[in-house]
Structure 1
């Protein structure tokens, strides 16, 4: 009799996968990732970049130049630190000028740390300057 009972149970079984607890598992995983994830605010800057067209009448010898050479920063061939660069750019009052007169040339030598490049770019943008990036061929 036990053999017949076993064979009957075997015939009535279905091949269905139990999915009743999948929603609970998904909910627990979502809660876990929300608790375990760290929320970091990424520091960004917005910069106005001029077009790549050359306009000799807008570029003159009076265009300020920020030159990055390794860890050193030069503003119009005078060595400055990042705070002094901000002060000198603030003295130019770039926000009140026309966009063509707000251009600041940014030159960077090989080997300049990215942190210095980012700080100089952020300082120029914070003082309403338009960055013109100079590349060497």
Structure 2
């Protein structure tokens, strides 16, 4: 379970990513055996853990920035909210949105944005690789 500060919208975003990746892992199971189910959950963990951990760490930091009470956290909040250049905000947003899993059994959406996208971690059911 990963807990996020509600102000950052990371909880909903990660819940959606969790659901997509888990559905893809279940969809790609060769059969309904307990070994396949266990392998699907291991694959889900492999794909999601690091991304959820990064989002959680960012949420903890954002909580300290937004609600911190000691002098350092107040100073950090003041500096970030008043002096952080717009290009740094854009760079952070690009880094947060680079991971965009898609549902395996639907037609994949091409990247129409300006930022890069991590490659999809699954092939189609027929065994072909995904090229976004």
**Richer in strand (by share):** 1
Instruction: Give the TM-score category using the shorter length.
Output: under 0.3
TM-score (norm 2): 0.22
